[in-house]
Chains A and B, each alone.
Chain A
């Protein structure tokens, strides 16, 4: 009796455990893909923790003589770390400006028809399609002539070129999902437009605002051509400062790698905070 029970429970455990032990093909696919994504970043991190001698003279998968000197170089030299500050300032400025102007516009596009609305909307989108290379030179001249050259606001405004259309487009998608009856009820309840917009409407599309902010942050943070063209010293972004590593004695690989790793940090932080909304966010309110 005891025997049969034992065998029975044994077969039971076996049949239960079997599907778990078999690795699914999707796990392999994802494993390989994530490995492909992480390897180059790992290599950068690996190099940032080595000395230049080690980088150039031996090949190893992990640092043999772990060193944080490269990071120390960056974090103690204002010429280096101010680059991060500059980048963050214009990125945040840009995000705020983009959202501030895009919110009312997206509301107008999602709720009303007016003369030329469709053309205007398409024209806005065309700016997202404008190659920064086309605008580099005219921006340089424009901002020099109005005395904004080498300021944070210049870069922030320049990045509005592609971020404002994108923000309008994303927000319009989210706003379309909010029933119009909500607006009408609020007006009947005696809300003014401004009060309604801030108190009722904005909380309703908060996820949309978050998504738009995420994309503005992302595209402003990663752009280099315009931000480099429009700055020399005072507002120079970190990405441009990285060319400093190219000295007379060749490239300072360790510091270059450390600077690169540090540029990943703000992005990684932002992603960490929005991790639960990424999937929904990438639907851009249009699914």
Chain B
């Protein structure tokens, strides 16, 4: 659609601007402010320059958390995107069972995040949880409170449980928009199932799939509540992701300076990666139009 030039449109975006300025810009300024100062309490601040940033960059703890965070996001993307697409392809197209699947699949998305954690914390417990109990009766040594690998598997399976449906629902919406004629033409052209997927379904899903990947990347990179409830970042620091580390620093130890510097760098990393996604997405939009 060609839009008209109208500077008065600024009045329409003004409410959003004020609201977001209040709830984003002011807090962000506070963070920037803290990040370059030092305090010994009593509201006395001293200029610290880039000292906190310097300290942070040389701190292995942050790098470890970042590394774990990237691992986590990469693993869940690699599982959730293909699995979500696969599930979408197998969903009934219409009728009662289609609505039934949609309703059940949406359910995990509306579970409060700490309850997601609680559900899996219980489910995985060796003494009272179905999963943990079953695994240990099968003779598998599974204990997410003491074994880092088990802890990782638990939070990944939990995230797959929690969010795969989002990818599947988006992909399903993309599939629903494909006219029947495409499938009929493919039948007539004797296209194999794989070719139907490769040349019809995947291209038509690409737009929503990019949205799904962007959303999943951002949210997985910011994840806090669910793994915190299950493992508390442990055992040791093995599941301490970036947000968990930051909250420990900011609210736990009240180290305002380092926490603020941490926040800024955290935010910048997300912005940079998201910007890359966003650029790719808009470029693809242009190609389609």
Q: Do chains A and B touch in the complex (CB under 8 A)?
A: yes
Write the residues of chain A forming the contact surface with B, with a CB cutoff of 8 angstroms: 25-26, 29-30, 33-34, 36-41, 43-44, 47, 55-56, 59, 61, 97, 100-102, 104-105, 107-115, 117, 120, 122, 124-139, 141-142, 157-158, 160-161, 164-165, 168, 176, 180, 218, 221-225, 229, 238-240, 242, 253, 256-257, 260, 263-264, 266-268, 270-272, 275-276, 278-284, 286-287
* Cross-chain contact of B12 among A105, A127, A135, A264 (Cβ < 8 A): A105
Give the A-B pair count, Cβ closer than 8 A.
285
A225 engages B7 (CB within 8 Å) = no
B107 engages A267 (CB within 8 Å) = yes
Task: Tell me the bound Cα distance from A104 to B16 in angstroms.
Answer: 9
B1 engages A176 (CB within 8 Å) = yes
Is residue B236 within 8 Å, beta carbon to beta carbon, of the partner chain? no
Closest Cβ–Cβ distance, residue B38 to chain A (whole Å): 16
Closest Cβ–Cβ distance, residue A56 to chain B (whole Å): 7
Closest Cβ–Cβ distance, residue B243 to chain A (whole Å): 4
Is residue B237 within 8 Å, beta carbon to beta carbon, of the partner chain? no
**11 A-B interface contacts by CB (under 8 A):** A26-B91, A40-B119, A44-B118, A130-B24, A130-B222, A131-B270, A141-B30, A264-B115, A278-B103, A279-B169, A282-B172
B130 proximity list for chain A (CB < 8 A): 39-40, 43, 61
Task: Tell me the bound Cα distance from A36 to B251 in angstroms.
Answer: 36
Is residue B114 within 8 Å, beta carbon to beta carbon, of the partner chain? yes
Is residue B42 within 8 Å, beta carbon to beta carbon, of the partner chain? no
B20 engages A287 (CB within 8 Å) = no
Is residue B26 within 8 Å, beta carbon to beta carbon, of the partner chain? yes
Q: Interface centre among B10, B26, B114, by most A CB within 10 Å?
A: B114
Is residue B161 within 8 Å, beta carbon to beta carbon, of the partner chain? yes
A132 engages B222 (CB within 8 Å) = yes
B19 engages A160 (CB within 8 Å) = yes
Is residue B256 within 8 Å, beta carbon to beta carbon, of the partner chain? yes
Given contacts A29-B87, A109-B13, contact A257 B122 (CB under 8 A): yes
Task: Tell me the bound Cα distance from A111 to B12 in angstroms.
Answer: 11
Closest to B172 in A: A279
Task: Tell me the bound Cα distance from A225 to B223 in angstroms.
Answer: 10
A29 engages B118 (CB within 8 Å) = no
A142 proximity list for chain B (CB < 8 A): 26-27, 30
